[in-house]
Amino acid sequence: MLSSFLLALPADATELQFWRFESQGNRLTFTTDEGVQPRAQLIPNPTRIVIDLPGTRVGNVVRTQPVGGAIREVRVGQFDAETTRIVIEMAPGFTIDPQQVRVRGTTPTQWSVQLPTPQRIAIEEQPPISPPPTSTVPPTGTRLEGVQVTGDGLFVRTTGPAPTIETRQERGRSRLIFELANTTLSPTLAQRDIPVNRHGVSRVRLSQVQGNPPAVRVTLELTGQNFNWQASNSGFGGVVLLPPRSGLIGRPPSDRQPPVTPPPLPPPPNDRPLPPRDRDPLPPINPPLSRPDELLATVLAVELSANGQQLIVRTDQPIRYDGEWDRREGAFRIILNGARLSDRTTGPQLGAGSPLQQIRLRQEDRETVVVLVRPAPGVRLGDLNQPEAETLTLALRGNALPPRQPDFPSEELPRPDSRRTVVIDPGHGGIDPGAIGIGGLREVDVLWPISMEVRSILERQGVRVVLTRTTDRTVELEPRVQIANNANADVFVSIHANAISMQRPDVNGVETFFASPSGQVLAQTIQNSIVEMTGMRDRGAKSARFYVIRNTTMPAALVEVGFVTGAEDAPRLRDPQFRSLMARAIARGILQYLQRR
């Protein structure tokens, strides 16, 4: 299964989060949780565009999209342990000019692949597809191309359909054998005896088994007697072999850990904020308790420490617990196993300036209590600890959102000494909402009000402002560049919000990109202004080759105002007060740059 293959990937691999092919415009767009550099190539027979994303794994996305017409389908899969592959396959009789394929990055995580109009060719001009004369591979067979040792196991690279896998052991000789049915060794395979010396395997031997159909035998020479390996097809060009302690596969039950982000359960109808001495009622008694009431720990209180730096959960008996981020709720879940709520359970007062925005308690089932914790803007959640058997503590770090500042009087903002033109580029728009973050927070909904307020502030300071779009509509990258160049602008600033995997809410902060020396000065000035005024994490001013800042003729910068997937940033970016503060910080940075020029 493909899921088994994904467990073999490095834990810190970049993840493909979203992709879409627009058949009317022949354009592929995709988003990853961290920066990636795509590689594209044209492969004939059948004609297909292959886009490889190095160091990337497939996330929870649709794997195939039928298109129709000149383009047969688009599919996504894991090519090998370190590469996600996107394939755009043409229909028979069609091809495209590879020189006209345009791969562009709006940000390090957001890319588009623009295809030219497909051209019809005569089908008879295509060379027939047949195996080499020396090969015994049947037309529908599989070919083994090589074996790769990964950090978690072995990856057997194949082409053709997924083979049937049979496993057998030779305990007396410490060998584990996998036979891949209907498979032959590639004629170009140079190494058939491969030293490994990892994962309890000294070497791997490959051998051809003649028959009808043929098979390939993959023999693992083990250094011990641990035969509990797992074999599975990756679903996209390979077989994954995992040792017993790789991921969750083959571990003894006592060693299993829960998934990092299991699907969140929908909130019950009675789920609501917890006022003092109130809590969600117990569900009706339907199934019998699996243990007597006296063996369940009662949650006595959920309270803030005197200094506001800890959330404390107190119970009347030793408690087992777990913690995870709930992506849909945008909150941290403290899961109390073998626990119940009662009339004695109390909750904290969350007044003005509280480090927590909301706390909810609910009885998820008869033996599980869940505490949902949503931090206030600017507050980070630290470690969840158990200093005593009946007590849990959750560290709270950072400060709450700074109070709203009054609008700047004109004399507090730099005013350019001559009429200047600034192009503000609100990213995305129309059918492209950009990244989607915690609680469904959309990038386009963050950057649009910020961009509009930046324009308003600059115009009050006598700056002429040109927008690349004035409504919620789709604008391609090239027209945005043309608008700036035709306006003979002094400065170009593109505004975006960042994103990463929902499993990484710890990644937060602001960063600004540039593509030229003059752009570097602009980017650093804006970055300094944002960090100084908002107190956000400083990810720095960085060089990048994004289309809109690389092809504009004036100093240009691309601002990422924070992470819609960040536990700190997302609540801030959702807050109109903070977005206004961000707009003033960006505007101040632009004005400081213009004044210094």
Question: Which tens digit of pLDDT belongs to each residue from 251-304?
Answer: 333 333 333 333 333 443 333 343 333 333 333 333 333 445 557 888 988 888
End-to-end CA separation in angstroms for the chain: 60
Which residues share a beta bridge with 89? 48, 73
Return d(Cα 100, Cα 488) in angstroms, integer.
29
Q: Is the pLDDT of residue 589 over 60?
A: yes
Q: Is 217 helix (H, G, I), strand (E, B) or coil?
A: strand
CB 481 within 8 A of CB 547: yes
**Residues in Cβ contact with 324 at an 8 Å cutoff, skipping those fewer than 6 apart:** 258, 260, 261, 262, 332, 333, 335
Domains and CATH numbers, the chain: 2-121 (2.60.40.3500), 142-247 (2.60.40.3470), 293-398 (2.60.40.3500), 410-596 (3.40.630.40)
The pLDDT of residue 8: 36
Q: Is 426 helix (H, G, I), strand (E, B) or coil?
A: strand
Q: Is the pLDDT of residue 541 over 80?
A: yes
- Percent pLDDT > 90 in the chain is 23
The pLDDT of residue 320: 83
The pLDDT of residue 40: 81
Q: pLDDT tens across 430-472, in order?
A: 878 888 888 888 999 999 999 999 998 999 888 999 999 988 8
CB 445 within 8 A of CB 515: no
Buried b (16+ CB within 10 A) or exposed e, 99-121: eebeebbbbbbbbbbbbeebeee
Tokens of 287: 């199934």
Find tokens 């386009």 and name the residue. 444
Buried b (16+ CB within 10 A) or exposed e, 486-496: ebebbbbbbbb
Q: How many helices (H) and strands (E) does the chain have?
A: 7, 37
Which stretch of 266-280, 313-327, 570-584 has the lowest confidence by average pLDDT?
266-280
Pairing of β 331-337 and β 368-375: antiparallel
Supply the mean pLDDT for the chain.
Answer: 78
The pLDDT of residue 591: 94
Instruction: Please work out, in degrees rounded to the nearest 5, the angle formed at the alpha carbon of residue 374 by the alpha carbons of 368 and 375.
Output: 135
H/E segment holding residue 557:
strand 556-563
Which stretch of 17-21, 408-412, 419-423 has the lowest confidence by average pLDDT?
408-412
Residue 476: how many other CB atoms lie within 10 Å: 15
Mean pLDDT confidence for 166-182? 84
Which stretch of 38-47, 192-201, 274-283, 498-507 has the lowest confidence by average pLDDT?
274-283
The pLDDT of residue 13: 67
Tokens of 516: 């030229």
Which stretch of 9-18, 77-86, 131-140, 300-309 has the lowest confidence by average pLDDT?
131-140
| Helical segments of 91-234, H only | none
Q: Among residues 109, 116, 108, 104, which one has the least CA distance to residue 49?
A: 116
Q: pLDDT tens across 154-171, in order?
A: 888 888 888 888 888 876
CB 380 within 8 A of CB 569: no
H/E segment holding residue 552:
none
Return d(Cα 256, Cα 248) in angstroms, integer.
6
Q: Among residues 473, 468, 427, 430, which one has the least CA distance to residue 446?
A: 427
The pLDDT of residue 262: 34
* DSSP conformation class of 223: S
The pLDDT of residue 508: 94
Return d(Cα 228, Cα 413) in angstroms, integer.
68
Return d(Cα 469, Cα 446) in angstroms, integer.
15
Question: Tell me, what amino acid is at 151?
Answer: G
Mean pLDDT confidence for 377-406? 70
CB 500 within 8 A of CB 32: no
Q: pLDDT tens across 122-152, in order?
A: 544 444 444 444 444 445 588 888 888 765 6
Q: pLDDT tens across 205-227, in order?
A: 999 988 888 899 999 988 777 77
Pairing of β 421-426 and β 464-467: parallel
The pLDDT of residue 328: 61
Return d(Cα 586, Cα 559) in angstroms, integer.
9
**Report field, pTM of the whole predicted structure over 0.85:** no
What beta strand segments (E) does 23-58 contain? Answer: 27-32, 39-43, 48-54, 56-58
Find tokens 């089932």 and name the residue. 365
The pLDDT of residue 455: 92
Return d(Cα 40, Cα 42) in angstroms, integer.
7
The pLDDT of residue 81: 73
The pLDDT of residue 401: 40
Residue 467 dihedral angles phi and psi, to the nearest 5°: -100, 140
Q: Is the pLDDT of residue 552 over 50?
A: yes
Return d(Cα 129, Cα 206) in angstroms, integer.
27
Using alpha carbons, list the distances in angstroms from residue 543 to 37, 512, 558: 14, 9, 10
Mean pLDDT confidence for 462-488? 90
The pLDDT of residue 45: 65
Which residues share a beta bridge with 31? 18, 110
CB 160 within 8 A of CB 208: no
Q: Is the pLDDT of residue 115 over 80?
A: yes
Return d(Cα 492, Cα 590) in angstroms, integer.
10
Greater confidence (283 vs 93) lies with 93
Catalytic residues: 560
Q: Is the pLDDT of residue 341 over 60?
A: yes
Which stretch of 136-140, 548-552, 575-579, 587-591 has the lowest confidence by average pLDDT?
136-140
**Is residue 434 left, alpha or beta, with left meaning phi > 0 and alpha meaning psi from -120 to 50?**
left
The pLDDT of residue 467: 93
Which stretch of 184-198, 306-320, 345-359 has the lowest confidence by average pLDDT?
345-359
The pLDDT of residue 293: 58
**What does 242-303 look like in DSSP terms, one character per residue?**
E-TTBTTBT--GGG----SSPPPPPPPTT-----TT--PPPPP--SPPSS-GGGSEEEEEEE
The pLDDT of residue 151: 59
Omega into 213 within 30° of 0, i.e. cis?
yes
**Confidence class for position 376, pLDDT limits 50, 70, 90:** confident
The pLDDT of residue 102: 83
Distance of CA 324 to the CA centre of its chain: 17
Return d(Cα 567, Cα 17) in angstroms, integer.
18
Q: Is the pLDDT of residue 523 over 90?
A: yes
Greater confidence (44 vs 325) lies with 325
Using alpha carbons, list the distances in angstroms from residue 164 to 116, 155, 531: 39, 16, 57
The pLDDT of residue 149: 76
Mean pLDDT confidence for 551-580? 93
The pLDDT of residue 343: 76
**Residues in Cβ contact with 32 at an 8 Å cutoff, skipping those fewer than 6 apart:** 14, 15, 16, 17, 53, 56, 109, 111
Question: Tell me, what amino acid is at 255?
Answer: D
The pLDDT of residue 259: 34
